[in-house]
Structure 1
């Protein structure tokens, strides 16, 4: 377990690495960070993500433990953001789900899944079925095109790139030593020995594939656009049996539209088909997207384990590996952060049990 002023080396400066670095430094520990890319976070899945915090919406494709992590994040993110000097866009206006008439059976299936989740995790805010009148109240911009929908109150989002920049600034203020463009592996360190850090935390995502062979990449493509004629007040998801999409409105009429889900670690540019599907679906939600300006079409691969669930493991003394956040990075990272902090301070984690999080530790090693 850590002492009041331990030293840490952290591998990977994506979302998880930055959160751990800042939190540990705020608690008085010495932190050194290593990343294979530059400070922009260009190589991180977090830079491309929409950063939605939608535990009930995501329950359609994940397990109750991840849903509980997402519920935890909705409480923790405001606390974490309050500790940063630079402001970060954060919104908690819920999630809206809409569909066209031909996709009503798929919407009914989703509703049943959400009802099952609500029974399993009863602390989540209750889902509301919207008629035409309530749709007008909830999202006036869509009231003429959709006469029914589902509203998931309490869900949220933040701005991923603002957060990465705010964490970078905080690392500088906390005098965290950052080695950019400096790839490192676990084999480069011997934590606990003289001249070495006391602890090593590996948050490299797909960069850790050589030592965590079960990791795979799941390709996602996302479009970022500026649409002055669109006024959506919350993340909106369009039900579709083949390519369900989300539209996440950020500040100043910036929208993140995504995301494809392709079982591949291909990092090449987005395909024409994917870009057309995403933008066509967005236009089907709101015609104002027709005159939007495309700012970026980005591709990234999410680090994913065979069961699509995150894990924390230990393969050497004083070393923890955190990986497999898949498509839920922003929704579950505060929970993983708090689990790791519990493990470091007490040698065990009650939160991990609550979240059904797989934690593999060496005997008597923390």
Structure 2
């Protein structure tokens, strides 16, 4: 680890997923880093804390653009490299994604499979979708025997434990002597990077906290349940196709499951409604009856920072001031690509990786 004090000075605003990743890698590269975060060290105000942290570029291609798919491919290679640099273990698996549906939703499943086929043709480097019959579903997930007649398997996709990662990154920041200021909101106008007595670089990773400076940002609300279900055994993230209420179930360690579904155009952070909670848990029960005896550990809401086209962007506020935002629902899947683009830009003041990923790097409007 690099704890030199003679390198460039960098300020990072925001200590969610993107802020922690960037501060950590800058510190490893020899930067003297200071972080300002409006919330606390526990990341309670960050969408990353309630995320399922799935790395599923092919599954997500049904609702997103090829550039996000390419960033997801990048992440599947990059996350193992990043996790290997941590001193604390973080759960990571790459056992693929299972897609299921009930018989009455077969038409919706055919539409979904068609979208994935188009992605496979556009991005041939992605593993091919595999169609499953009832036997194939049972072979992948024995506990689902006789429950689903058909399914799709997306090999190579993965997931990690979001809360373990956030804690491990905090540990690294402390070990690297990064200066951490909790409950200390700051904005880009509080700094003049590159001028005398100021930091060399400023990076704004505040998510929706940057709305005053990036007016196009909006919140997309998500509702997620964390469940302890000793009677449920699933080996990989599983998604249920439904025309109105699709869900995902991400199994973590020790029979902990993260279950989510809803996407509401809102900045509302109030608790979930009874109706949405019932629908979420009922859909999970429809996948596996063992969820009936599960214990609800937490039902949480958060708003993901989203730009009008639902794509991420890096914006230059000045020669040495970058805003990284718009991660939407794909934070864990695309953050390694955004990280590497920023690191490349800091090193060379230009980036070829952004162009290869079709990632927007733009100047802020005056």
2:9 is equivalent to residue 7 of structure 1: yes
Aligned-residue offset at 1:259: 2.3
- Counterpart in the other structure of 1:88: 90
- Partners of 2:293 and 2:253 lie apart in 1 by 18
Matched positions, count: 360
Counterparts in 2 of 1:50-199, with a 5 A limit?
A: 50-199=52-201
SS at match of 2:42: coil
- Counterpart in the other structure of 2:27: 25
Q: Pick which of 275-284 and 309-318 moved more.
A: 309-318
SS at match of 2:180: strand
- Counterpart in the other structure of 1:323: 325
Structure 2, unpaired ranges of 5+ = 1-5
Q: Pick which of 14-23 and 128-137 moved more.
A: 128-137
- Counterpart in the other structure of 2:3: none
What TM-score, normalized by structure 2, do the two folds share?
0.97
- Counterpart in the other structure of 1:290: 292
What TM-score, normalized by structure 1, do the two folds share?
0.97
- Partners of 2:138 and 2:101 lie apart in 1 by 15
1:268 to 256, 267, 270: 270
Structure 1 vs Structure 2 CA RMSD:
1.1
Aligned-residue offset at 1:274: 1.1
- Partners of 2:17 and 2:138 lie apart in 1 by 36
- Partners of 1:260 and 1:135 lie apart in 2 by 26
2:212 is equivalent to residue 226 of structure 1: no
For 1:12-54, what per-residue CA distance to the aligned partner results, in whole angstroms no more than 9, with x for missing partners? 0000000001101111111000000000011111001000000
- Partners of 1:103 and 1:354 lie apart in 2 by 37
SS at match of 1:60: coil
- Partners of 1:121 and 1:242 lie apart in 2 by 28
Aligned-residue offset at 1:316: 2.1
SS at match of 1:42: coil
- Partners of 2:208 and 2:235 lie apart in 1 by 34
Structure 1, unpaired ranges of 5+ = none
Q: Pick which of 235-244 and 187-196 moved more.
A: 187-196
For 1:231-253, what per-residue CA distance to the aligned partner results, in whole angstroms no more than 9, with x for missing partners? 00000000000011000000000
Aligned-residue offset at 1:361: 3.9
- Counterpart in the other structure of 1:332: 334
SS at match of 2:114: helix
- Partners of 2:326 and 2:11 lie apart in 1 by 20
- Partners of 1:258 and 1:283 lie apart in 2 by 13
For 1:273-306, what per-residue CA distance to the aligned partner results, in whole angstroms no more than 9, with x for missing partners? 1111110000000000000000000000000000
Aligned-residue offset at 1:194: 1.9
Runs of 4+ aligned residues of structure 1 deviating over 6 Å after TM superposition are none
Q: Pick which of 8-17 and 313-322 moved more.
A: 313-322
